[in-house]
Amino acid sequence: MVELGVGTSTQAKSGLSAEQVDAFKGGLRGVLLRPREPGYDEARTVWNGMTDKRPGLIIRCAGASDVIKAVNLARDNGLLLAVRGGDHSVAGHSVCDGGIMIDLSAMRSVRVDPVKRTARAEGGTRWGDFDKETQAFGLATTGGTNSDTGIAGLTLGGGIGWLAGKYGLSCDNLLSADVVTASGELLTASATDNPDLFWALRGGGGNFGVVTSFEYQLQELSTILGGMVIHSFARATDVLRFYAEFSRSIPDELNTICALLTSPDGQPVIAIAVCYNGNLEQGERVLQPVRDFGPPLVDQISPMPYTAMQTMLDAAFPRGRQYYWKANLITDIGPNAIDVIAEYFARVPSPFTVLGFQQLGNFTNRVAPGATAFSHRDARYDFLMLSGWEDPLQADQNIAWTREVYAAMRPSLHAGMYVNAVGAESVSEVRAAYRADTYGRLVALKRKYDPTNLFRLNANIDPGE
């Protein structure tokens, strides 16, 4: 027996013989990487530079057959299992110390059906891949606001994006998914096939299996009216008051983000970012109050291709920086919240940190809470505390500040969290991501589809509860 440092699902050490590993490798279409092999370090590196974990084996799958084999290997040998889609889990859920990492980064094909207006995309696809392929046909669906983020983690948690006002969350546009469950079976989940699993996938995160491909409903879309207005930080309180009022009643075509950040020349500023997907003249009228309020230091709102909107925020969150993020849903941005945000941002410890609100979107709010596992449909924004810094020695200061902001904001926040913001350590945060009835249903489905909790490196629903 060769010790590979492959931890079991209960964290103890176990090993696979060199013969076992070689035989497994011979059966793969994709690539198997062991520690110290060329490509291993690159493959274990994820978006958040704070995450530094070393899997015992990395299985870079080429297709569903590799995923099935990897799931069977982990289950039969009691090995800890991580699943990497777009690797943007801030908590570092997509990689593990010891154990096996299923790496889907080579599975990024997207097939668009322009007649049916649907797209099928593999589990390692990123929104940048997806948007380029669908926009070639003038089509789109709600995706995240950064092009490097994975469709998998984002959709399985819900998926808040610029088009959510008119079309809902990414999960609201999911038509079907192919899933390798803990038993190693590949199941299709849709409204007609395994509908209970389909319900759970739309908000239940990575708890129910490895999704090898997602099928989405698409909508016609090309040029949007988007961009941002920027004001000096001195006006933060006024801008936040305006934003709270303006965003309360907007047409479905519009979705918004309001954020405090530091400009590239080191000035603290507040920005309102918008995306209007509809008649452009109508959009100009709807957005006039945003442009008139102020006047802003900068007005960058203009017609642009949807793909430009989808990459507008990329530079703010580069791969490899140190990040500690918290987020919590909120229904109304009241005076207390505004005061707290302005007060804390005045002493933000890093120029790379952002505090802000991402609007869930009108359509999202209209979906019945029990329709999908994403159930906090009454919340109107996700309040984002996105701390980023470059020197690892500054971690304590930045993490402490983020937690202070959260504690001070707590009285103004919704009881619920967005599951994609759940931290690495918190059981109570997972519960807060769901209404009580939703959580009970998810536990029952976890017992059905993953009774031994093979898929545990996520916002974990414990089947033993």
Ligand X SMILES: Cc1cc2nc3c(=O)[nH]c(=O)nc-3n(C[C@H](O)[C@H](O)[C@H](O)COP(=O)(O)OP(=O)(O)OC[C@H]3O[C@@H](n4cnc5c(N)ncnc54)[C@H](O)[C@@H]3O)c2cc1C
Residues that bind ligand X (CB under 6 A): 47, 83-90, 93-94, 104, 123, 144-146, 149-150, 152-154, 156-161, 206, 210-211, 317, 420, 457-458
Query: Phi, psi at residue 258, to the nearest 5°?
Result: -125, 130
Closest separation between CB of residue 237 and ligand X, Å? 26
> Token pair for residue 404?
């202070």
Indicate the residue among 242 and 352 with the shorter CB distance to ligand X: 352
Choice between 307 and 420, CB closer to ligand X: 420
In the complex, what is the shortest distance from the CB of residue 317 to ligand X, in angstroms, rounded to a whole number?
A: 4
* Secondary structure of residue 462 in the 3-state scheme: coil
Nearer to ligand X by Cβ, of 92 and 296: the residue is 92
Q: What is the closest distance, in whole angstroms, from the C-beta atom of residue 158 to ligand X in the complex?
A: 6
Please answer whether residues 123 and 81 qualify as being in contact, where contact means their C-beta atoms are separated by less than 8 angstroms: no
Alpha-carbon distance of 103 to 86, in angstroms, equals 9
Query: Cβ closer to ligand X: 68 or 160?
Result: 160
CB closer to ligand X, 155 vs 438 = 155
Q: Which residue has the tokens 């159930």?
A: 375
To the nearest whole angstrom, how small is the minimum distance from the Cβ of residue 203 to ligand X? Answer: 11
Q: Give me the long-range contacts of 34-40 (CB less than 8 A, separation at least 24).
A: 34/4, 34/58, 35/5
For residue 435, give both structure tokens.
Answer: 């209404």
Between residues 318 and 440, which has the closer beta carbon with respect to ligand X? 318
Q: Which is nearer to ligand X, 306 or 317 (CB)?
A: 317
- Residue 380: other Cβ atoms inside 10 A: 20
Cβ 397 to ligand X, closest distance in Å?
A: 21
- Among all residues, whose Cβ is closest to ligand X? 153
134, 136, 230, 433 from 307: Cα distances, Å: 10, 10, 21, 30
Rank residues 342 and 417 by Cβ distance to ligand X and give the closer one.
417
Residue 201 Cβ, how far from ligand X at the closest point, in Å? 9
What is residue 71's three-state secondary structure? helix
DSSP 192-228: SSSHHHHHHHTTSGGGG-EEEEEEEE-EE--EEEEEE
Please give the DSSP secondary-structure letter assigned to residue 377: T
Q: Shortest Cβ distance from residue 206 to ligand X (Å)? A: 3
| Token pair listed for 416 | 């619920």
* CA atoms of 448 and 189, how far apart (whole Å): 14
Helix (H, G, I), strand (E, B) or coil at 83: strand
Kindly state the smallest distance separating residue 379's Cβ from ligand X, in Å. Answer: 13
